[in-house]
A and B are shown apart, each in its own frame.
Chain A
Amino acid sequence: MAAGGVRQGFFTAGHVAVLVAFSVLLAFPFYWMLITTFKGTSDLYDITNNPFIFNAPPTLEHLRLLFGETMYLRWVGNTALAGALVVAITLLLALPAAYALARLTGQWGQRLGIAIFLTYLVPPTLLFIPLSRVIALLGLQDTIWSVVVVYPSFTIPFSTWLLMGFFKSIPRELEDAAMVDGLTRFGAFVKLVIPISVSGILTVVIFAFTLVTQEFVYALTFIAPEAHQMVGVGVPTFLVRGDVYYWGSLMAACLITSLPIALVYNLFLDRFIAGFTVGAVK
Chain B
Amino acid sequence: MGSGSDESIEHIETEGDARGRGYSDAPILITNFLETFPNMLLGWPVTLHVSCHEKPAIGHVGTSRRGGKAPGFYATLDVQFKRGGESALSKTHADIDRADWKGRNVTITIKKSSMGSDIGKKMVVPFCWRFVTDEATGLQRQVSWWDWSSTTAMVMKEHERDLKDVMDVQCERKQMKGMVFWSDAMGITKDKAITASEFGFMVESDPEWRKKVESALHVQTHPTLTEDTEL
Real complex partners, A and B? no
Interfacial residues, chain A to chain B (CB-CB below 8 A): none
